[in-house]
A and B are shown apart, each in its own frame.
Chain A
């Protein structure tokens, strides 16, 4: 596939992030059993406005084709793949995972890459899984990079389109952010083309956007997420805000270890949701690893309450849920939002820990 470039970033600069990502990824040597799914659980969801539950299964495929070449700066899911995976072994994994299906009305099938990439899941297996699930649930969510959303691919599964949601990680509508910061060889124009194609055929697209990829201040990150959500709202069925978390063997982890990256505040997630509330599409967030040092977090005292607020809002979209949230650390977040536009750095990385411990900020520095 063609690697696209943001107009004002030089090729050598991009080459250096590609190499850095693949160096980090080379450490991800974990190779899973091709006959066991990675994990599976049931979570709360909403379907057509009413509460229900969803079965989530993560299948071990041969892995994301992009991750095998370089990989996105935050993605450590290469650790969740099995080089020996075959159609037959994945079918076994699926069988084990789907046995937990009872009253859940939604099934989400994730691989560490793209469901529509035949390198991971062949045409035959794709149809076999969808045909099996289609009569048993109301909604099937699969994840895929938009590069695999082609007319041919869509037509082969168009029979399932009324229940199928294609979840696509756009991450950002800014190609410079996408190419350099996220290190994803996609571009926004292609995303727009595929979403049009998909909706023309009658598919629904759910878009993921990334809150705070590396090389960005907190303020810039919030602005980028809000802008992305606003720009894609006409082209997508729903939007999920994914704050960056620190996964193993990634560029983000390397930067985090060196003190040059910090996951976003939960307040930033709240801010993005508030500022996108007026959009006529559902914007939600289910932050991975939230409340921990590797995930989006606040001062430590308010994390649980704020996470609950975000979860409630994601299901019911009541703005009051977000507006009622507060904590002393929100003032610090506000100051950082303002000041980080003047001085790009993240300030002290253990800043929030210090607030939690001592009630004050960066004493030494």
Chain B
């Protein structure tokens, strides 16, 4: 992928949501993202080779990439942005000049220079950054904005929304080794060491996840080069090495797909914790728009995991898109360590107990779990239901319980179950209490241990009692369940895919046919339905959020970003995407980028095509 404006380009290598490991080219200067600009006020380069970039007041002699800080235009007069090899000179500006009641609202600056210095905050930034085509946007007031984590995430997200992924975002004066991961996660590409340096001067040092009094460095808590050898300015250099180490750790976390888990572990200081809470709760869609629908494993081991974008999206889709199948018995079971659940030993035991009952076709198995709440059997293979890990203590927090019971209420309100069977273990107590409290008739079959032979035979008996005589043909039953997968994948319009179809194969590998034409296939490997061209034709008008409108040219392979005219707003990396050309299906495949990236990118694969319309010309 390649993003940018010609003279300023960003080439991402890997990314997670808004964070990215990338190369930024600003004219002749090149810098890796994310990065920290280390302050150099002595006039010479004091830093070792492991440091990559410096922030200077005037250009100094160095082999590193240096950014010359913007100056106050009132004091030093105007100066435009300039770039040279390993040198970026940021433009002068008037600090704080648009902050209040419109002061300086008419402050005009060059909008297409390599670097643009923004002075506003919060919502003001969307107007200030409108039409800005700069490779780097400096959020000059970031340090003041960051006094309130909510203001900070509001400002960063507003700026990011305005500039898209095509510009790098620089937030001066805010970073320290403790909050760096959060800053990067929020969408900041470049920070500097000013705040961390200043902390050191005030006697505060950062040691991994903690901020401590500098005297702690005498106690053998750190073995960085500064702590091992330096006598003068030890705290200052210690903080700098910490910041550098944290930067490298964040890059690794992005590359290995574990940034979210890494920053959850960092969300221990009040500021970090508040920022993450606001980010997850109030800025969910800002992050979710960039969250892939496949390809990562989620480790949900902190309280914050419950609110991470992928998990919340699952819960929102359950609430917004899911309709329970018309079956008589709702069977609630505990989750398993192995995913998808039906592969696990415990769930195979449950499955044999169900098969042994008199009418298994009427049983709908739903797993009670955290952080996803409830996972109906048909969604077991769908991301992230088959792609998460949790610490198994059997202890449920209030928030976890509430999520599961809220979803259970939704399920019961929408479903037509005539019988509820709870075959549960650690979650037995709060689920049965909740059912009783709601006045729902239920049978408790586990006695607290779900795998004992007597529990399982009790389960078989009770399922038989509740499921009645009316048998549902497996194909009709499976069609309902596949309809749910399609709805989960594409929204309610996706259900149309199953209208008048017949199915072949064995779960989780099922082919969908209408007449003799195959519309699609569920595969255990992907966990969702892959469409054929006929399948795409059948639903393309129902699911505009998953269609990509391409330009009027003959597609010969994969669709690349420059060929995209419009991208359905619901598309995320990993989603099934229908490629449309002038209103007709041209191809179908898997989105390689989110909708926003397809529009931002100048290069790169947008849709990995599986099926392409055959043309007479090609034949």
CB < 8 Å neighbour of B94 from A174, A215, A346? A215
Q: Is the CB–CB distance between B41 and A349 below 8 Å? A: no
B147 touches A349 (CB 8 A): yes
**Which residues of A, 207-246, contact B by the 8 Å Cβ criterion?**
214-217, 220, 223-224
Most buried by A among B74, B176, B194, B211: B74
Contact with A along B299-311 (1 / 0, CB 8 A): 0000000000000
Pair A359/B213 contact, Cβ less than 8 Å: yes
Known contacts: A342-B41, A343-B172. The answer to whether A258 contacts B100 by CB under 8 A is yes
Contacts of B194 in A (CB 8 A): 339, 342-343, 347
Given A260-B100, A343-B192, the answer on whether A16 and B147 have CB atoms closer than 8 Å is: no
* CB within 8 Å of B: which A78-112 residues: none
**Quick check: B201 and A335 within 8 Å, CB to CB?**
yes
Is the beta-carbon distance between B97 and A215 smaller than 8 angstroms?
A: yes
Give the contact stretch, choosing among A175-183, A265-273, A287-295.
A175-183
Is B197's CB under 8 angstroms from A174's CB? no
Q: Which residues of A contact B6 (CB under 8 A)?
A: none
Interface positions, chain B 454-508, Cβ under 8 Å from A, are none
Neighbour of A345 across the interface among B95, B176, B201, CB < 8 A: B95
The size class of the interface chain A forms with chain B is 35 or more
Of the listed stretches B101-109, B434-442, B531-539, B589-597, chain A binds B101-109
Instruction: Say what secondary structure dominates the interface of chain B.
Output: loop
Q: Quick check: A13 and B106 within 8 Å, CB to CB?
A: yes
Given A254-B101, A365-B147, A344 and B213 touching (CB < 8 A)?
A: no
CB-CB under 8 A from A260, the residues of chain B are 96, 99-100, 141, 144
Check B270 for interface membership: any CB of A closer than 8 A.
Answer: yes
Is B77 an interface residue when CB atoms closer than 8 A count as contact?
Answer: yes
> Which residues 306-365 of A sit at the B interface, judged by CB distance below 8 A?
328, 331-332, 334-336, 338-339, 341-349, 351, 355, 359-365
Q: B198 to A344, Cβ gap below 8 A?
A: no
A180 in contact with B74 given A260-B96, A342-B69, A362-B198 (CB within 8 Å): yes
Find out whether the CB atom of B72 lies under 8 angstroms from the CB atom of A10: no
A56: interface (CB < 8 Å): no
How many interface residues does chain B have, given as a range? 35 or more
Residue of A177, A214, A365 ringed by the most chain B CB atoms within 10 A: A365
Please measure, in the bound complex, the distance between the C-alpha atom of A349 and the C-alpha atom of B107, giving whole angstroms: 25
Which residues of B, 590-607, contact A by the 8 Å Cβ criterion? none
Whole-angstrom distance between the alpha carbons of A255 and B338 in the complex?
57
In the complex, per-residue mask of B35-57: 1 if CB is within 8 Å of any chain A CB, else 0: 00001010000000000000111
Q: Can you name 30 A-B residue pairings with CB atoms under 8 Å?
A: A8-B73, A8-B78, A10-B106, A13-B94, A13-B107, A16-B107, A23-B101, A180-B94, A180-B97, A215-B94, A251-B103, A259-B144, A260-B96, A339-B194, A339-B198, A341-B41, A341-B57, A342-B39, A342-B192, A343-B69, A343-B173, A344-B69, A344-B95, A345-B95, A345-B173, A347-B143, A355-B202, A359-B213, A362-B195, A365-B174
CB within 8 Å of A: which residues of B?
A: 39, 41, 55-57, 69-75, 77-78, 93-97, 99-108, 140-144, 146-147, 172-174, 176, 179, 192, 194-195, 197-199, 201-204, 211, 213, 269-271
